[in-house]
Structure 1
Amino acid sequence: MWGNGAGDWAPDGTGPGTLSNLTVLGFELRDDSPSLTNDGRPKRWVVVAPPGAATGLLLAQADGDAQHAAVGNQFAGRVGLFLRVDDFEGTRQRMVAADVQFVGNPRREPYGDVVVFVDPWGNRWDLLGPQDG
């Protein structure tokens, strides 16, 4: 599965998900700072984003049974995250080489080439190519 950064952080605190996995998507680490939970326990503030993006993703470690149960199912089995890239096929091939799990085959839509992939935590993403025309 995607990478081997065993010392890196995983949102569920266990398993294969690591920060190094996000480099397969071309993401960069924007922030990795110590912080505190609302009740004063230590945590990390970790933000990743595609290069040049104005918006990033805050990776929050699950805390408690309800949050652990939701890891990978935040979108109830549907695609909930979208990654638009300039080089659809090149990005897809890098992801294939990194053993990223794809759901179905790439297809052409009016909004660009698209294929669904699953991240190490079970979330479904659309990989999107440039929009035609």
Structure 2
Amino acid sequence: MTTETLAMSTLVVPDYDAGIAFYAEKLGFKLVEDTDLGDGKRWVVVEAPGANGSGGRLLLARDTNESQTAAFGNQTGGPVAFFLHTDDFASSHERFIAAGVEFMEEPRHEPYATVAAFADPFGNTWDLIEAKDKND
């Protein structure tokens, strides 16, 4: 039987190095690849900590036209775009704040998780989530 896996999603950024600075340096993503493709284009892939190639990768693509630039921060049409799971919300939240990540709200305790929204420097919204144990 054939198995398909979502390996990577594209995230449009205004500048490759700014994307790397935020995702790798502030959020702690691993820079998997940064290959020069010529003509100012690069193939830049970052991976969320703990993903181990299992789909937590982002291809950082530089905007190349006005419609892509206009989509910054609204790539999903309004809802939170990305969800970053953690097994220790308090530690991750504290580390992100220390790295300069700006949260849009105080942590809240939902029936399914502890969660707080933050935005990347490009306007995309993220939820930092520690899911509740389903056995509770």
Aligned residue number for residue 76 of structure 1: 77
Secondary structure, in 3 states, of the residue corresponding to 2:128?
strand
Q: Contact 1:116–1:124 (CA<8 Å) still a contact in 2?
A: yes
Following superposition, the deviation at residue 100 of structure 1 comes to 1.4
Aligned residues: 119
Q: How does 1:35-114 map to 2 (within 5 A)?
A: 35=37, 41-53=39-51, 54-55=54-55, 56-114=57-115
Contiguous gaps of at least 5 residues in structure 1: 1-9
Q: Contact 1:17–1:121 (CA<8 Å) still a contact in 2?
A: no
- Distance (whole Å) between structure 2 residues aligned to residue 129 and residue 108 of structure 1: 10
Secondary structure, in 3 states, of the residue corresponding to 1:103?
coil
- Distance (whole Å) between structure 2 residues aligned to residue 19 and residue 35 of structure 1: 17
Aligned AA for 1:104? E
Secondary structure, in 3 states, of the residue corresponding to 1:101?
coil
The reply to whether residue 21 of structure 1 matches residue 22 of structure 2 is yes
Instruction: Please give the TM-score of this superposition, normalised by the length of structure 2.
Output: 0.77
Q: Contact 2:89–2:130 (CA<8 Å) still a contact in 1?
A: yes
Following superposition, the deviation at residue 33 of structure 1 comes to 1.1
Which deviations, in whole Å up to 9, do the C-alpha atoms of 1:95-122 show, x marking residues without a partner?
Answer: 1112212112111123211000001111
The 4+ residue runs of structure 1 with deviation greater than 6 A are none
Contiguous gaps of at least 5 residues in structure 2: 1-11
Following superposition, the deviation at residue 42 of structure 1 comes to 4.5
Q: Contact 2:26–2:100 (CA<8 Å) still a contact in 1?
A: no
Once the two structures are aligned, what percentage of the paired residues are identical?
43
Aligned AA for 1:63? T
Aligned AA for 2:35? S
- Distance (whole Å) between structure 2 residues aligned to residue 51 and residue 81 of structure 1: 14
Let me know the Cα RMSD of the aligned residues: 2.2
- Distance (whole Å) between structure 1 residues aligned to residue 49 and residue 118 of structure 2: 20
Q: Contact 2:86–2:128 (CA<8 Å) still a contact in 1?
A: yes
